[in-house]
Amino acid sequence: MSTEIVERSAAQIAREVNGGSLSAREAAGAALAQIDRVESRVGAFLTPLHGDARAQADLVDARVRAGERLPLAGVSLAVKDNMCLTGTRTTCGSKILERWIAPYTATAVQRLVNAGAIVVGKANMDEFAMGSSCENSALGVTRNPYDLDRVPGGSSGGSAAAVGAYEAAIALGSDTGGSIREPGAFCNLIGFKPTYGRVSRYGLIAFASSLDQIGPLTRTVEDAALVYDAIAGHDPMDSTSIDRPVEPTANGLLESLSGLKIGIVRQFDTRELGDDIDEVYDRAYHDLEALGAELHDVSLPTADYGLATYYLIAPAECSSNLARFDGVRYGLRVEAQDVQAMYEQTRAAGFGPEVKRRILIGTYALSSGYYDAYYVRAQKARTLVARDFEKAFEDVDLIACPAASSPAFAFNAKSDPYSMYMMDYYTIPMSLAGLPALSVPCGWVTPPGGTRPLPMGLQLCAPIFSEKLLLGAAHAYERATQHALKHKPQVSEV
Amino acid sequence: MSSEKIDVRYVAKLARIALTDEEVDRFGAQLADLLEHVNRLGELDTNAVPATAQVVESRNVEREDTVQPCLDRETVLAGAPQRQGAFFRVPRIIAEQ
């Protein structure tokens, strides 16, 4: 019985809880039972919250009985562990915050709780959201629910694995260079990064502030729209949050793409990804056309420089943001003779290799003598990338391209940093330009050496503030193709 | 763009991270490799291009200078690795003569 409930979409659970045919307690209980059943194999959570979840579910039931209608009533929610939730530890997947208890709640999390969602746990992640595989977590291993020998993607890998393995109906992730879209693609989900500034970052522990954006990981586009509608909107607590009205998206889901112009990026040659993958994307583009879209070639000549641009800007911002972790006010401290040695040894012990690497590259790029050559030049390149998109969107409504360079790979498969960074080749340009973009399941590939089919993601991207059109179109594609339903996660085979 | 050798120890000192000799070698090689890749940006003509710090409409946020509630002292100090009364305790900063 409980398996049935956990496989329902968030929209369906909310309908049933609001309608009285299911209680929030039952819905949350089913998710918690699924966590008990599969978590030892998946490892999606750093901190499961069974007791808090049950208490929260009772509150939701009371609100529904009192006549409230809640858009996410009884919907189980996994929260990436870089978002604060009062009274729970919030680790960022790092030893430096391993025991830190958050004294306040992130706006996005609070808005979902207000909408009736129930936090079932804090999800694993690459340390400080730096990574594309979730292998950089200092605190746990998360496995891909579709092939337990493979990574779930990163950095929101725990959030993606939780939803993929039916341990939560929805999850919040954060996307800096692709950290929602890539794990979404790897785990057969919708991974949606809204326009930069649409969702408050208050309570999200910063990695690269000009890029970070909170967004949903869900099993359907409709669920992504429901989450977005609940979390989007101005928040005075975040000075980069945008103060303009939000157009609701859940009421604008499309059934066809007729009249839409969709751009295919000439520079993004999928043939380089291999025959099987090329075929998946070829068919996806063809399906968009069959749904009524008009396909156009578009050119993003500087997108190819996106990776280089990102790997200067993001580390520069991270070196600045992570300066606050010095052993003085919170988190780990390594005692030493003087304060300078305390800083140096605390940070040496508290940060993992990827975080150190990025702090070093960022410090270098910002240091005297190199600032103009690296950081300022990258910010100028960022302007060029954004202009490319602006120009492309003069001719098309949406852009379609791959979400990741490959399906989920095996643990330890990417040994040198740059080959890992290449995973985000297709998602970084949109992040640099602040655009809303999502990944929607578009097919299955059994990679060489793999034993089972793995999901692939199609990335769709829209001009800023065009979330309604983006989600609407993704819904039409999802409904017509139903790729996500073709295979079940490995953890459902018992 | 420059491709000179990075003084990793110096950069680590600026970043307040103690590195082992092994880390100095490993990070040094990896950073040099990464800089090779990012040096590709030199191919772009960016002379007349303004730098982008924020992509979406961004403006200065102002409000009345009024006192508002914030986290109370106990809540903030609860996360401190070491405290003394109402203060964060740190090692001696100014040395004795």
pLDDT at A146: 97
**CA A233, CA A411: separation in Å to the nearest integer?**
38
List C-alpha distances in Å: A20 to A10, A60, A173. 15, 12, 30
Q: Which residues contact A267 (CB under 8 A, 6 or more apart)?
A: A299, A300, A301, A303, A304
Q: Name every residue whose Cβ is closer than 8 Å to that of residue B38 and which is 6 or more positions away in sequence.
A: A308, A311, A312, A374, A378, B1
A vs B, Cβ pairs < 8 A, gives 170
- What pLDDT score was predicted for residue A3? 53
What the block records as the tokens of A67 is 């006549």
* Angle between helices A353-366 and B21-38 in degrees, nearest 10: 60
Q: What is the pLDDT of residue A122?
A: 98
Active-site residue, selected from the candidate residues A9, A132, A155, A319: A155
Selecting from B37, B75, B82 the residue whose C-beta is nearest the C-beta of A308 gives: B37
Q: How far does CA A107 lie from the centroid of its chain?
A: 17
Q: Give chain A positions within 8 Å (CB) of B87.
A: none
CB contact under 8 A, B38 and A311: yes
Task: Write the residue in B31, B46, B78 that is nearest to A360 by C-beta.
Answer: B31
Name the residue facing A305 among B1, B41, B53 (closest C-beta): B41
Question: Are B16 and A343 a contacting pair at CB < 8 A?
Answer: yes
- The span from the CA of A317 to the CA of A137, in Å, is 20
Contact B44 A384 (CB under 8 A): yes
Nearest to A162 by CA among A323, A304, A249, A45: A45
Which entry of A80, A122, A193, A414 is annotated as an active-site residue?
A80
The alpha carbon of residue B97 is apart from the nearest alpha carbon of chain A, in Å, by 15
C-alpha A440 chain-centroid distance: 12
Contact B78 A332 (CB under 8 A): no
Q: Do A356 and B34 touch (CB under 8 A)?
A: no
Task: Select from B2, B13, B17 the residue whose CB has the most chain A CBs within 10 Å, as the one to mutate to test that interface.
Answer: B17
Q: Do A137 and A93 touch, CB atoms closer than 8 A?
A: yes
The one-letter amino acid at A180: I
Q: Tell me which residue in B44, B82, B91 faces A305 most closely, judged by beta carbons.
A: B44
In chain B, which residues have their Cβ closer than 8 Å to the Cβ of A331?
Answer: 79, 81
Chain A's closest residue to B20, CA to CA, is A348
Write down the pLDDT at residue A494: 52
- Contact yes or no for B91 and A210 at CB 8 A: no
CB contact under 8 A, B93 and A338: yes
How many CB atoms within 10 Å of residue B71? 11
- Buried-state track B43-57, b at ≥16 Cβ within 10 A, e below 16: ebebeebeebeebbe
Beta-bridged to residue B87, according to DSSP, are B84
The pLDDT value given to residue B95: 75
The alpha-helical segments, DSSP class H, found in A333-401 are: 339-350, 353-366, 377-392
CA distance B49 to chain A (A): 6
CB contact under 8 A, A356 and B27: yes
pLDDT of residue B7: 93
Q: With contacts defined as CB-CB under 8 Å, which chain B residues touch A350? A: none
| Pairwise CB contact (< 8 Å): B54 & A210 | yes
Question: Which chain B residues have a beta carbon less than 8 Å from that of A195?
Answer: 56
Low-confidence stretches of chain A (pLDDT < 70) are 1-3, 494
In b/e form, how buried is each residue of A325-360, taking b as 16+ CB within 10 angstroms?
A: bbbbbbbbbbebeebeebbbbbbbebbbebbbbbbb
Question: Nearest C-alpha of chain B: how many angstroms from A436?
Answer: 11
Q: Are A416 and B30 inside 8 Å of each other by CB?
A: yes
**Residue A185 parent element (H or E):** helix A181-186
Report long-range pairs for A59-68 (Cβ below 8 Å, ≥24 apart).
A60/A17, A60/A24, A60/A116, A60/A118, A61/A17, A61/A23, A61/A24, A61/A25, A63/A116, A64/A17, A64/A18, A64/A20, A64/A24, A64/A116
Contacts of B79 in chain A (CB under 8 A): 100-101, 103, 329-331
Select which of A132, A179, A241, A319 is catalytic: A179
**Rounded-to-integer distance, Cα A10 and Cα A169, Å:** 6
Dist CA A445 CA A454 (whole Å): 5
Q: Is A155 annotated as catalytic?
A: yes
Alpha helices in A210-352 (DSSP H): 221-231, 275-290, 306-321, 339-350
- Cβ-Cβ contacts under 8 Å for A359 (sequence gap 6 or more): A315, A318, A319, A322, A351, B15, B17
CA–CA min distance B7, chain A (Å) = 9
Nearest CA in chain A to B72: A103
**A478, A493 contact by CB (below 8 A):** no
Question: Which residues, 6+ apart, have CB-to-CB distance to A184 below 8 Å?
Answer: A153, A160, A173, A190, A191, A192, A217, A403, A438, A439, A457
pLDDT per residue rounded down to tens, chain B (97 residues): 444 578 999 999 999 999 999 999 999 999 999 999 999 999 999 999 999 988 887 778 888 999 988 899 999 999 999 999 999 999 988 877 6
The verdict on pTM exceeding 0.95 is: yes
The tokens of A382 are what? 């960022």
Please give the angle made by the CA atoms of A410, A147 and A153, to the nearest 5 degrees: 55
Which member of B16, B42, B56 has the closest CB to residue A196? B56
Spatial distance between the Cα atoms of A33 and A399, rounded to a whole number of angstroms: 40
CA of B89 to nearest chain A CA: how many angstroms apart? 7
Q: List strand residue ranges (DSSP E) for B1-97, in order.
A: 83-84, 87-88
Cβ distance B53 to A379 less than 8 Å, yes or no, reads yes
Which residue in A101, A309, A319 is closest to B15 by CB distance? A319
